[in-house]
Structures are given as C-alpha cells and as structure tokens.
Chains A and B, each alone.
Chain A
Amino acid sequence: MRWSGILGLAMAAATVSLPLVAYAETNDLPDTNRLQAIADQTQWAHLLHYRPHPYTFRYESQNDSADFFLAEEGKTSLLAELTADLTAFMQTGMADNSSAQCQFPARYQWVKQQLPDIAFVDQPCSDFSQWESEIDASSLTLIFPAAHINSPSSMYGHTLVRMDREGKSSSKLLSYSVNFAANADPSDNELVFSYKGLAGGYPGVVSVMPYYQKTNEYQHLEYRDIWEYNLNLTKPEVDQFVRHVWETKDTYFDYYFFDENCSYRLLALLDASSERSDLAKHFKFTAVPVDTIRALDDAGLIDDTEYRASAASGLEYKRQQVSRQVLDTAKSLIDNEVDVERALAALTEQEQAQALELAHAYARYLAIKKKKDSPELRERTIKILSARSKRSIDAGFIEPPTPAIRDDQGHLSSRLGGWVGQVSGDGPITKYADLSLRLSYHDIMDLPDGYVPGSQIQMGQFDARIWEDGDIRLQRFTLIDVLSLSHQTYFQSPIAWAVTTGLERSLGENAELYAFLKVGFGQAYLTDWGRFYGLADVQLLADNQFDKGYQLSVGPRIGWLLQKSLVQAQIEANFQEFNVGDKTQRRNILAALGYKLADNVQLRLKAQLSQFEHDALTLDREEVSAGVQWYY
C-alpha cells in the first residue's frame, strides 16, 4: 500500500502538532472547531458516501474498501478523515502521482474551496490529468436502457452516466460512460447470483468504458431501446463528477440488488459532485432505476431527453414501410439458399436496398435471439451486406420515432389498492373487503402507458382480506409474478412465457392458504382487436388441504387482452385438466376491466368463476369485485 507511509506521516502530523513534512506556506491545520464545522457539511458526507444505514441506523461510509480513506477510522469518522486528508493535501514536494491530491482530486477541490485562507500547492498528477483530458467531459447524460422485449425482469432496468464531450459533431458512441455494477463471480450460477445480489455478496465497482460498449450490449444484443436524459449540471459540477469517479478507482461498495444498486450509486456519485444534488437519500430501501430518473427530474436536473431505438424496434418499424413482396424477398434471402441477385431482380433498386437491410436485421435477430448457430447464416449475412454495398442508393427508411410516452412517464412503481367483493356458490353469499399492497411493479391490467405491452413483473404483493363476519386473513402473497406475452411478427417469433410463485387461496371464506408455483409457455398474437395468447400451464400446488399434500397439473391457459390508455380489458380461461397428486380438476374463467381515473389511479372490476371437479362431483364458485388502485 503506497499510502500507508503517507498515512503514517499524516496521522503523526495530526496528533503531534509538530510538522514532519514541509507544509504550504503560512499554514498549520485549522483548529478543531473549524474542522468539525467543515466535516459536518452535507457535501463532505456525500464525497465520502456517508449514509445512515436503514436497518442499523449507523452513520458511516458505504464504501467498503480501506483505500477509500486515509484515516484508519475514515469509514466511521468524517472528522478523522477530513483531518487526515487535509494534512495530506498540504504536503508539498511530492513525486508525480504520489500525492493525496492525485488520489482524491474531488475532495481536494472541495476542501480547497472551504479553506480559502490556506495556500495549497497543487502537486503534479500526470495520470489523473491525462485521464481527465481523455474523458474530456463537458456535460453528463443519464442513460436508461428500457425494458427488453420478452424479458420482463429487465423492466427493473439499469442506469449509467455518459460523460459527453463538447460539440454536437463529436460521436456519442466515443464518449466514455460510468457504470456501477456488481463484480459477479462468473462461476456462480443464476441462483447463487440472485442470492448474492440480494444479500450483498458481491463487491460493486465503478467502471468507465466507451459508450459504444454499452450500445452494442443494449441496443444491438439485448434489443433494448435506450432513453438518454441530458443533465443540466454546470461545467464545474461535471469536472467535480469526473474527479470523484476517479476517487472510486481501486475501491468497492458492497452491491445490493434492491437498494445499493447501480442507480442508487450513480445518484450518490452525482450527490458528491454537486451541491444542488441530494437525491440518494430518497432511496433508503429500494432504488428502482426508473424512480431514480423521476427523482432527477423532480430536482430539475434533466434538460431534455433523446431516444435510441433498439435493433428490434428498427426492424419492426421498417417492416411496416415496405410491401409484402419486399418482406418475402428479405426473408427468403436468409431462410433459403438463393442467388441473391436473382432473388432481387423483380424489385426496384430502392426496394432491393430495403430488402437487403431487412434481411440483415432478420439474420441478426436469428443469430442473437434465436441462437441459430450456423456457418451458412453467417455466410449469407455477409453476402447480403456485400450485395447491399453494391447499391449506393439510400433505402429511404424512416427511422423509428420517439415514443410519445417515456418509460419514466408511466404509472409509479408501488401500488396500493382497496377492493370490495363477494363470493357465491354452494353456501350463502359472503362479502369482503381487501387491502392490497404491491411493492413493484406492473401487471398487464395496470395502466399501460410507458410499459412494454403484454409484459408483467410483480414482486412482493400482499392482499389482506376482511370478511363480513370480521375474520381477517392473508388472502394472497405473490413473491414473484412474471408474464411475457410478446407477440409473433413477420420476422420475430418469441416464446410467450409465465412464471409465478407465492401463496394463495381458492375462492370462498373457508378456503385455506396453499403454496403455488406456476410456469407456462406458449405464443401470443397482436391484432387490431387486442392481444390473444395461449399458454400450456404447469402448476404445482402444495398444502395439506390437497389429497397427498400436493397437486401437479397441466392445462391450457388462453386469453385476450386489450391495453388502451384509458380502458384495459382481459378475459382468460385456465383449465387444469391433467393432474397427479390431488385429483381435483380446477377450471377458472376470469374477466377484468380497468379504467384510468387519473395518471396514477385506476378503477378495476373483476369477475371470476371457479369450478372444481372430483369424482363426478362439481363445485362452482363465483366472485365479483371492484377496486381502486393507487400508484405511488
């Protein structure tokens, strides 16, 4: 540790008031009262990433690496770290890149401003200076890759910050971006990964890389549209951000998926760079990326936004601009072994260019999303580009327009609902009222604006029910509920799928709680009259209410879904006909209607019919309910 020596000196200098090294002229350390006043400033705490711990209430730095501090108790004492840093900043005659000024340039800059009477002597820091000038940042842009098609878990999202250079003409792809990510152990499987991600088993590190690495990943591989939010930070704030990013080099923060995640850390980095920014404090328990964007917007830090369409959005939009003949030609160029020029002969020159570009996009889709691993596909793709290069004409495609509603303009992430309803069937009609809380995030019957159509992810939903006789029960708990109804298109054939697990009850007051795991696969189709889907559902139910304690069943689940801005509607039938364990056949038909009352308020009506058949005995139950959902 090259700093230990300096640290020793610094500590000695701080405790013994005898200066051991040459200080800048005139100065000793300011007295303790003055230092304490500086250490108490919010900005100093932000620079050191001090935050009150949400559970232990301890106030300490979230940086978990000794290299982030000069003082031994730097993680827990703002004053000790200030004293040690200041002492080190005042040292002169340091070799290039060895001064504390070079290690903590943002702190140095800030401390200098707090102590204008001290004549600090800038020490040479060639590594930092060269890095800073290569980055050449003049403004910052927050980057938000939108949810990706057919992977609802990505709705949760990710954010990074791009450091833009001056001038419109310089390529955004060449700007550097700042990314905070868990440094996952690649040998861990998904389960271990998820566990460690939640529990904080991975170190989170800040990394800096060209933006093109991220666009290649998101735009071209994951097929995610990207939203770019230009921040209105001043040049001095931008400079301070760059300096502060440098300070996190060789250090780490434990990564937590829900709260101390990528988006949280970026806010904390911005907080450290700007006195105007105090945003991370709003996210003590969870930091959903899209909410961090809303916080930036609320703080007035967002200037304007830009949209970067994914390769898939481009393909789908361009597909609609050409004739069926062009489409068929494009597809056959990839699907069949054809002579390229002969296949194109019937088209006009511009149509030929269009067919070739669509064929290329289709080939990339097959390679990336469909994992078609064949040398023929690769060869055909290159042949098609070669043919395209022989045509200097512009294909004349209109690029996908910016969507009218951004991802951050959809309904808010948490939801509270109040419901009343009644159940009828074999006995008397019983009435109930529900209180429903969902921590995150979106289901297909929620207000659809700003969300991927047909996509759903819910985590942590609790429904408490009070029956008319006063009985209070947990009616349902959803741990996770993912549904992806991506539809078939001319070029793309995604698999619709569903996974959900939790606790629930059948209809009726006497029904007991059971655990469930449901998985389904199928297809979805989008028409002018809404979205139709069919899945094969495999359901595992477990509880002692079932014969043998469980039921494993298979059956069809078919439905229709309409997602309009104002009105939402769904009809779904699920017949679990084939089973092992408990032999009861369960059939469900559900109809739901939603109506937008305000941007974050929805009215919902629901009717459900359940039938249970066992040994030729059938039992029918019906439920109707109405509720108001409030997103917050």
Chain B
Amino acid sequence: MKKLIAGAILLTSSSMAFAAGNHGPAGCGLGSSVLFPDASKWYEHVMAATTNGTSGNQTFGMTSGTLGCQDANGPLAGGLAFIDNNMDQLAMDAAKGEGESLAALAEVMGIESQDTVAFNHAVQSNFDSIFNADATSGSAYEAMKAVIAKDASLQKYLG
C-alpha cells in the first residue's frame, strides 16, 4: 500500500504559497474550464464521486477556492476561481437572471446588495458575450468585467 498522504489539504500551505503570486494575469492557473464539458469527462467524475466517502485525487487536485487569487487581478479577483468551479451552474443562473450561484458570484466579486439586481440584469442581458460555446472560465470572467465596466451602477467595482 502506498502511504501517499501528505495530509489534509487545508487551504493553507498550498494555496497560501500561491498567494505569494507566481501566477499570471489569469490567476492561480485557473480560467480554462469550459461550459458543459464532454459527457465522458462527467462520467469519470461521477464514477469517482459515487463511491461514498472517498474522493482520492479528486478532492486533492482541486483548488481551494478564492484564497490565493486575491493578488492576481485586483478588484473582483475572487470571481475567477468561483467561475472556474461553477461554470455550469452560473450559466443557468445567468440565463434566468437569478439564482444561488449568481448570488455567490456577486458576493465573491464584492457587489453590494443594493447593486445585485443591476448585476443580475447585466449578466442576463449579456449572456451571449459571457457564456457562448467558445467560452472558458477565463474569457467569461473577462467578458463579465467588460459588462461591469459598461454599466453605470456597477462601474465603481472596477476600482
């Protein structure tokens, strides 16, 4: 048996090391998720996750969230890691103009509660520029920033 363990992946050691910042403008090596990836990939994922109580590399390979990306892009930076991990859920919420994932994204990006209606509306009405067939989480993130830049009530979040 391989005693392979390095131990608990707490968001510290690995992602805090990240925070020192060797990553490019995309941040944290993220930004490559696509919308609705091929079923075969889902299949493996489901198989891996179905076996209860185990998650092997699946858990360990994943980024530990927004921490560590904060120095990457200045304002709104937390958004990228979240988009990277939640593309499919976000696309659905964006199309509807509301939802739990979209609300979480607004929170990560620091959008205050009085502006979330404007944020939701901006994302919904610019759906095609953010979540098209060629979109990656990186391009979705950039497109979202562009949408925010154009919106009078949201511009301020670009800092």
Interface residues of A (CB under 8 A from B): 65, 67, 127-128, 130-131, 134, 148, 151, 153-154, 156-158, 169-174, 176, 179-186, 190, 193, 196-197, 201-203, 205-210, 212-213, 216-217, 220-222, 245-246, 248-252, 255, 257, 261-262, 356-357, 360, 364, 367-368, 371-374, 377-379, 381-382, 385-386, 388-389, 392, 395
User: Which of B11, B45, B108, B113 has the most C-beta atoms of chain A within 10 angstroms of its own C-beta?
Assistant: B11
Of the residues B39, B86, B88, contact of A373 by C-beta under 8 Å: B39
Name the segment of B24-32, B49-57, B136-144, B146-154 touching the other chain. Answer: B49-57
Find the B residue at minimum CB distance from A353: B96
Tell whether, in the assembled complex, residue B113 and residue A169 are in contact, meaning their CB atoms are under 8 Å apart.
yes
Tell whether, in the assembled complex, residue B97 and residue A367 are in contact, meaning their CB atoms are under 8 Å apart.
no
**B15-48 interface code vs A (CB 8 A; 1 in, 0 out):** 0100000000000000000011011101101101
In the complex the two chains form, what is the Cα distance from A217 to B46 in whole Å? 8
* CB of B9 within 8 Å of the partner chain: yes
**Quick one: given A208-B11, A249-B12, are A179 and B59 in contact (CB under 8 Å)?**
yes
Tell whether, in the assembled complex, residue A216 and residue B86 are in contact, meaning their CB atoms are under 8 Å apart.
yes
In the complex the two chains form, what is the Cα distance from A246 to B8 in whole Å? 9
Find the A residue at minimum CB distance from B59: A207
In the complex the two chains form, what is the Cα distance from A131 to B9 in whole Å? 12
In the complex the two chains form, what is the Cα distance from A209 to B12 in whole Å? 11
* CB of B69 within 8 Å of the partner chain: no
Q: What residues on B are CB-neighbors of A130 within 8 Å?
A: 12, 16
Of the residues B49, B59, B127, contact of A222 by C-beta under 8 Å: B49
From residue B153, how far is it (CB to closest CB) to chain A in Å? 17
**Quick one: given A171-B104, A183-B56, A222-B49, are A201 and B42 in contact (CB under 8 Å)?**
no
**Quick one: given A182-B54, A378-B133, A385-B91, are A209 and B65 in contact (CB under 8 Å)?**
yes
Q: A207-B10, A212-B82 are in contact. List 6 more A-B contacts (CB 8 A).
A: A197-B54, A203-B3, A221-B49, A382-B36, A382-B131, A395-B96
**Cβ < 8 Å to A, chain B residues 57-116:** 57, 59-60, 62, 64-67, 82, 85-86, 88-89, 91-92, 94-97, 100-101, 103-104, 107-108, 113
In the complex the two chains form, what is the Cα distance from A246 to B9 in whole Å? 10
Tell whether, in the assembled complex, residue A220 and residue B2 are in contact, meaning their CB atoms are under 8 Å apart.
no
**Quick one: given A171-B103, A212-B104, are A360 and B85 in contact (CB under 8 Å)?**
no
Find the A residue at minimum CB distance from B96: A388
Q: What residues on B are CB-neighbors of A220 within 8 Å?
A: 88-89
Of the residues B46, B59, B107, B131, contact of A171 by C-beta under 8 Å: B107
From residue B117, how far is it (CB to closest CB) to chain A in Å? 12
Tell whether, in the assembled complex, residue B56 and residue A209 are in contact, meaning their CB atoms are under 8 Å apart.
no
**Quick one: given A208-B11, A213-B85, are A392 and B4 in contact (CB under 8 Å)?**
no
Tell whether, in the assembled complex, residue B6 and residue A250 are in contact, meaning their CB atoms are under 8 Å apart.
yes
Q: What residues on B are CB-neighbors of A65 within 8 Å?
A: 5, 7
Q: What residues on B are CB-neighbors of A128 within 8 Å?
A: 12
Q: What residues on A are CB-neighbors of B5 within 8 Å?
A: 65, 183, 203, 205, 252
In the complex the two chains form, what is the Cα distance from A184 to B2 in whole Å? 10
From residue B140, how far is it (CB to closest CB) to chain A in Å? 12
Find the A residue at minimum CB distance from B12: A131
Q: What residues on A are CB-neighbors of B155 within 8 Å?
A: none
**Quick one: given A176-B65, A210-B65, A212-B104, are A249 and B54 in contact (CB under 8 Å)?**
no
Q: How many residues of B contact A (CB 8 A)?
A: 66
Tell whether, in the assembled complex, residue A134 and residue B59 are in contact, meaning their CB atoms are under 8 Å apart.
no
Find the A residue at minimum CB distance from B87: A216
Q: What residues on A are CB-neighbors of B9 within 8 Å?
A: 205, 207-209
Closest 8 CB pairs of A and B: A250-B7, A389-B127, A373-B39, A171-B104, A385-B95, A388-B95, A184-B56, A173-B104
From residue B68, how far is it (CB to closest CB) to chain A in Å? 10
In the complex the two chains form, what is the Cα distance from A563 to B118 in whole Å? 49
From residue A355, how far is it (CB to closest CB) to chain B in Å? 13
Q: What residues on A are CB-neighbors of B60 within 8 Å?
A: 183, 207
Tell whether, in the assembled complex, residue A176 and residue B11 are in contact, meaning their CB atoms are under 8 Å apart.
yes
Tell whether, in the assembled complex, residue B53 and residue A357 are in contact, meaning their CB atoms are under 8 Å apart.
no
Q: What residues on A are CB-neighbors of B54 within 8 Å?
A: 181-184, 193, 197, 202, 255
Find the B residue at minimum CB distance from A263: B53
Q: What residues on A are CB-neighbors of B101 within 8 Å?
A: 173, 212
Q: What residues on B are CB-neighbors of A250 within 8 Å?
A: 6-8
Of the residues B82, B124, B132, contact of A382 by C-beta under 8 Å: B132
Q: What residues on B are CB-neighbors of A360 within 8 Å?
A: 92, 95
From residue A310, how far is it (CB to closest CB) to chain B in Å? 13
Of the residues A185, A196, A212, A373, contact of B40 by C-beta under 8 Å: A373
Of the residues A368, A382, A395, contact of B39 by C-beta under 8 Å: A368
From residue B52, how far is it (CB to closest CB) to chain A in Å? 5
In the complex the two chains form, what is the Cα distance from A373 to B91 in whole Å? 19
**Quick one: given A131-B12, A209-B59, A395-B96, are A389 and B128 in contact (CB under 8 Å)?**
yes
From residue B82, how far is it (CB to closest CB) to chain A in Å? 8
From residue A262, how far is it (CB to closest CB) to chain B in Å? 4
Find the A residue at minimum CB distance from B3: A203
Find the B residue at minimum CB distance from A381: B36
In the complex the two chains form, what is the Cα distance from A203 to B94 in whole Å? 41
Tell whether, in the assembled complex, residue B49 and residue A373 are in contact, meaning their CB atoms are under 8 Å apart.
no
In the complex the two chains form, what is the Cα distance from A74 to B57 in whole Å? 30
From residue B1, how far is it (CB to closest CB) to chain A in Å? 5
From residue B53, how far is it (CB to closest CB) to chain A in Å? 4
Q: What residues on B are CB-neighbors of A255 within 8 Å?
A: 53-54
Tell whether, in the assembled complex, residue A257 and residue B8 are in contact, meaning their CB atoms are under 8 Å apart.
no
In the complex the two chains form, what is the Cα distance from A392 to B95 in whole Å? 9
From residue A473, how far is it (CB to closest CB) to chain B in Å? 35
**Quick one: given A389-B95, A389-B128, A395-B96, are A378 and B50 in contact (CB under 8 Å)?**
no
Tell whether, in the assembled complex, residue A221 and residue B67 are in contact, meaning their CB atoms are under 8 Å apart.
no
From residue A579, how far is it (CB to closest CB) to chain B in Å? 33
Q: What residues on B are CB-neighbors of A374 within 8 Å?
A: 39
Q: What residues on A are CB-neighbors of B85 within 8 Å?
A: 210, 212-213, 216
Of the residues A169, A174, A203, A221, contact of B46 by C-beta under 8 Å: A221
In the complex the two chains form, what is the Cα distance from A395 to B96 in whole Å? 8
Tell whether, in the assembled complex, residue B11 and residue A252 are in contact, meaning their CB atoms are under 8 Å apart.
no
From residue A52, how far is it (CB to closest CB) to chain B in Å? 23
Tell whether, in the assembled complex, residue A379 and residue B11 are in contact, meaning their CB atoms are under 8 Å apart.
no
Of the residues A179, A193, A372, contact of B51 by C-beta under 8 Å: A193
In the complex the two chains form, what is the Cα distance from A252 to B108 in whole Å? 32
Tell whether, in the assembled complex, residue B89 and residue A216 are in contact, meaning their CB atoms are under 8 Å apart.
yes
Find the B residue at minimum CB distance from A67: B7
Tell whether, in the assembled complex, residue B128 and residue A203 are in contact, meaning their CB atoms are under 8 Å apart.
no
Q: What residues on B are CB-neighbors of A222 within 8 Å?
A: 46, 49-50
In the complex the two chains form, what is the Cα distance from A67 to B108 in whole Å? 35
